[in-house]
Chains A and B, each alone.
Chain A
Amino acid sequence: MATSVQRASQQLTMADLKGKVDPDWCPGCGDFGVLAAVQKALVELRIPTYNVVTISGIGCSSNFPGYMNTYGMHTLHGRALAVATGLKLANHELTVLVTGGDGDGFGIGGNHFVHSMRRNVDLLYIVMDNQIYGLTTGQTSPTSRVGMKTKSMPFGNIEAPVNPISLALAAGATFVARGFSGEQKHLTELIKQGIEHPGFSFLDVFSPCVTYNHDNTYQWFRPRVKKLEEDSAHDPTNWMAAMEKSLLWGEEIPIGKFFERTDVSTLHAAEPVLNNGPLVHGDLKVPPDVARSFVEELM
């Protein structure tokens, strides 16, 4: 996201981004790495903290806004993107970060996920994807692999998981990337790009759940993840190639920027009502001559 990213007048530090309380995630949780990468990205981009809004749904990873020193909204399960869309349209000068988990985004929030992408709402959506429901103590999620045994599917998952990258590409996201919590520098770079991208940036992050997911661990991911940036043949402007890459899973799992295009108007830029600046700064009153014309139409 980022049509008009504002810069802070002075250098920010990691301490400037630290929220009022420390995370209550389990020790070793992948979300710590995502939080640090987001804070680092904002420091490096020098965005004034009061101009950033971090919006989440419900779940372990959705506690995220409380750990940031930005404006924050900890909303309802699955609804963060809808709330963020309204907020962005009312004040498009704000930098909007949406954070949450795979259950929040691809399960209960699946409808808003798809529609926010086709609308190209200008925000960065980070999904801390741990392939399990953590806060409800370990049930199958929309990204759990077939066969995974959980408390809700003790004999193994029989449903095929959603592929977030393919889905985002198909739904029209204009920036599609995948990161890994265990790859800090790479992740920070993707977050910075996602914030600066004009339009909907989707960033799926492998963020292992050390308590409930014993299949998809740091040790499982580390040998498998391969950075697309290191593949000289990868062209992130090629949608078909990105779709093919998105289907890779197994011994080799690509991370990095799959796809980006900047030729699609963001939702707020496409709406002439916003030509005179953010709605929140505008006059509340309808001009008297316009009001009169509204009544005269009815006579």
Chain B
Amino acid sequence: MNLPVIIKFVIDLLAVLLLALGIKGLSKVKSARDANRLAAFAMSLSVVGLLSYYLGTSGIAIQSWIWIIIGSIIGSLFGAILAKKVPMTSMPETVALFNGCGGMSSLLVALGVAIFPISSGQENFDFFKSLINEVSISVSIFVGAITFTGSIVAMAKLQGWLSTPGWTQSKVRHFVNIVFAVASLIAFLDLINGNASSIWLLVIVSSLLGIGVTLPIGGADMPVVISLLNSYSGIAAAAAGFVVDSQLLIVAGAMVGAAGLILTQVMCKGMNRSLVSVLFGGSLSAQSTASSGSGEYTNITSCSVEECALTLEAANKVIIVPGYGLAVAQAQHTLREVTKKLEQNGIEVVYAIHPVAGRMPGHMNVLLAEADVPYEQLKEMDVVNPDFPATDVVLVLGANDVVNPQAKNDSSSPLYGMPVLDVQEARTVFVIKRGMSAGYSGIKNDLFDLPNTSMVFGDAKKVLNDLIGELKDLGVGEK
């Protein structure tokens, strides 16, 4: 072993250690920010290690430097600009876009090596080694392509650029996807068999498979899909590691792949969905409308913003239940103004955060943190549920399925078993909602029929603005 090899070995080892510590630290609130920087440092370190290794052994040609610099500057610049500019509400689609590009990168590496085999130093043909090479190239292309097109579709759907086409809800989609999958397998076998041109077939059909699998999945399940695709991009990186013989790539890719799977599992649990039903079940509403479509609302009480303000003024303890609708209306800042007024009047305000509130688990916390809501006021479901009986007013903003008592009471409901917030235990519940449309699940919400529930119809932002006005008239929060 010569010096460059030893140096690279030490740096790689250190980078793996720091990356592992980074992922570990990211799972605790206190250490998360430092952990993220630690991981970023480890990544830079790994680049230094690789470049110094080549400088010490084969050297790096001027021409290579030029292309390295061009690629790095353009990629980093766009990444940094997007990361700085993007609004917090579009976080899920941003993560999807970044993720897709990671997949694209693995795909391109494998494609490059496949078209222009890089000299490995040894010229003697080794069947076993070339087989492994072809398998890892194929896996890298297959997973990379699925990650790329899947992430782009996910992003487009979250942005509202793409809707779910009707045919994708029928059984036809399974047939189509099976065709794509089988075609990928044929292309893969053909490639191993020595037919180099079938690599293009592999690229095309695995890209189509990524689209075909993601397109039918409905909005609520999208975060799970992004998390899964994130795991895939790790797998694609690990496969690329086999292609270029890099242990660091394999370790880091495998870590992300495995961690992503765990995270996906955690998310599924929070939504009471199995991964299989997310991937193959289509959108939940399509299957469940038949089973519980019979439910008509019989006892809806609607009230004005003024009444809502009066009740709030008299309250001692208020719990806010923010949901997807709040994120869509981008009303978190307006909400914060309302709660500030209430707090100034000595009213205790707490935010109840369901594990899947918002558009991604944890997304609501980010949005509320952006609006300057103190971290201590954000309560997780298990912590806040016992508090509801002692609460005067609950304000439900754009949340629906996560406050549906059916999940606890009605074993025939598709929601049954999903952890929900027990808002109905509170003295008064106000639900701010555009209309009587159902939530993601398409299931009737029994909460709306309860005598202590009043509906305030309107756009979340507008209602909150009106609420500020009413509270002002009542002299709340003005000292």
B is a partner of A = no
